[in-house]
Amino acid sequence: MNYKYRSIAILALFLTILDLTAKWLAQKYLTAPLELWPGFLQLKLSYNPGIAFSIPVPNLAMIIATPFLLVALLYGIRHACNMRHTISKISVALIVAGGIGNFINRIWTGAVIDFLDFSFWPSFNLADAYLTIGAFLLIIFYGKIKLKNS
């Protein structure tokens, strides 16, 4: 495995383990909401059988579609971006970790475990944050990442 992809795989593995551990801890210990910042942030266990913002999609459809979507997305990123750039590597690792973390969670529990609950936003988990941050980094820094064929 090429060094640039090995570093992505190692980071993605670490982030996936962190996400799954956080979900396991939430499932095991969050028997009641835990207020961290009253009126703003609490840890609260919930199960999301849908996709982003609880949009309903059958779990089996997501289990089948996720690997294909992830591979297609990675193929597009790999061919559009110069993977020697650190921001590209971090973005891909975040997207891979987020996709795999939620994918494994769907297989094990039939839903995605959410536990971060801001008063102004739907509940989410680390994998959701990884996906959002990874996509955001690619969008924000895309102009700074030299295209492969340019």
Instruction: Please give the positions annotated as active site.
Output: 114, 128
CA neighbor of 93 nearest in space, from 145, 18, 16: 16
